Amino acid sequence: MIKTRIFQKYFLMASSLILLFVVLGVAFNNYMMELTRPQKRESIPPIFIAKIVDRLNPNDKVKSLEELQSWQRGPIGPRLALVTEDGTCLYPKNCKLEFDWKSLVLPKNIYDFISVKNKSEPSLRPPRFGFFPPLGGGPAGGGPGGPDGPPPGPPPMMQIETVIIKLNNPQPLFLVALPGQLPPMPPGGNYGHLLGIGSLVVSLLLGIGFTIAIIYSSMKKGVSEADKVISEIKSGNLKSRFQVKRKDEFGQAMQRFNTMADEIEKLVHGLKTSEQARTKVLQELAHDLRTPLASLRNLVDTLHSSMDRLDRSTRDELLTLSSKEIDYFERLVEDLLFLAQLTEPDYADHPTTFNLPETILDVAEDCLFMSSQKGKKIELVENLKNQTQMFPGDQHPIKRLVRNAVENAFSFAKSKVTVQLHVLDNQMIRLTIADDGPGFKPNDLNSFGQRNVSRKLNTDSNGRVSLGLGSVVIKTICDVYHGTLSIKNLKDSTGNILGAEIRIELPYKLTST
């Protein structure tokens, strides 16, 4: 059974064209056969034959009939017999009639005739001679053909009958015209058979040629359109698409190509956006490399040139500042390397998956341990231990994303940090990190994820070096993974700030296990 639409289309088209050309070939062959076929001889009316027999030899009808049939070249036309009134056959010798002569009502007038159905022949067959005379007498009686009635019409054309005609003779004598052999179909010239085979072969070749031409034209049109669309995409027009107007396999392929082009356009747009953002950050960070280097050089030069003249407290202060500048420089270079290596996760050479809740829990517990080492007692509230959610992508950037957010929460939390992971109905994963600290400042709410121009050293009570890069890294990773980032302050009913919350949503494409 033919199932595919394109196969149905071209199969029906090819079959119809070949059938059409075969019919045309047969018609052409018949036409050429008629042109090359010799002229057919017309049938001779039986009454006309009877009158010829009377005129050729009025005194001897047998010789007249013999002379008439000697004119014929072959057994074509009616078979003629000469019969007396009592049924004796005078010509040809030993002839036998196929009907009961004595039961017939013979014609009484000269050239009157009767028709007798031949029992040995089927009732419906093509006529063996063309026509009968419309005029002349008929059987005695008042009906058609009788002396008082109108002349009879010719016998039915589709019935084969024997015609009995009374001749002009002193003694009643009858000419019997029996059905003869059908004339053979003359051949179509000297090359009739070759003409038939040749016309059939030519019609088949024409049908196949027209079918291939139509299929090639359809394919060429599709290829030209595909080449045009691909050329436009190659030249930079990423919005070029196929105009899908067909529902067969070609239309489905065009639709899949348009879907692929949408993905390419989305990828290129995302790469341009993320590359522009990353380039901007890298340029700013590269510019910032000069500041710690210059500061560190000044501190080292001061210690080197004035070591003997500086007291112990001043030297310790300069060494402490140098150590902090080195920490700043170290973290700055680390962030630069991380941002430079960050790639599009959907088109990785070797896509991998990892257990997201387990990764988040490991980072949160590490941050909890580091906080306890600094003497802070923070409670970790989470819903990660009983979850198993495989996530597509590189584990390292996601781990860095979670670490920056969780470290920021532990830095400002007073007694509790909450880490919650939920799978949304719209195939998004939501990670919520909240603390009970002082919350975000108004400026931080507006500039979270943007590079701070000024450097801040020792801004928290634990001596943490603030580079202004933590939120930048979080925002950059979210953009690369096509996610969203939002922050807010948690407030009670009276408007008092209870803490801060960071909400990260990432697209999710795999099912949970």
pLDDT digits (tens, 9 = 90+) for 465-485: 344 567 778 888 888 888 889
Q: What is the pLDDT of residues 409-463, one digit of tens each?
A: 998 899 999 999 998 876 889 999 999 999 888 877 877 766 654 455 444 444 3
pLDDT at 341: 67
Domain architecture of the chain: domains with CATH: 5-38+189-226 (no CATH), 46-178 (no CATH), 350-507 (3.30.565.10)
Is the Cβ–Cβ distance between 36 and 189 less than 8 Å? yes
pLDDT at 448: 76
**Token duo for residue 182:** 């059908």
Exposed e or buried b for every residue in 24-43, given b needs 16+ CB within 10 A?
Answer: ebeebbeebbeeeeeeeeeb
The CA distance from 435 to 419, in Å, is: 9
**What long-range pairs does 150-153 form, CB within 8 A, spacing at least 24?**
152/113
Characterize the bridge pairing of strands 379-382 and 416-423.
Answer: parallel
Starting at the earlier edge strand, list the strands of the sheet with 161-166.
89-91, 79-84, 173-178, 161-166, 113-117
- Tell me the average pLDDT across 383-389: 88
Q: Which of 76-80, 168-172, 232-236 has the lowest mean pLDDT?
A: 76-80
Amino acid in the structure at residue 190: N
Per the prediction, the chain carries an average pLDDT of 75
Starting at the earlier edge strand, list the strands of the sheet with 484-491.
379-382, 416-423, 428-435, 497-507, 484-491
Cα-only R_g, the chain: 56
pLDDT at 184: 54
Distance of CA 213 to the CA centre of its chain: 20
> pLDDT-based confidence at 128, cuts 50/70/90?
very low
pLDDT above 50: residue 160: yes
Exposed e or buried b for every residue in 101-137, given b needs 16+ CB within 10 A?
Answer: beeeebbeeebbbbbbebeebeeeeebbbeebbeebb
- Which comes out higher in pLDDT, residue 197 or 56? 56
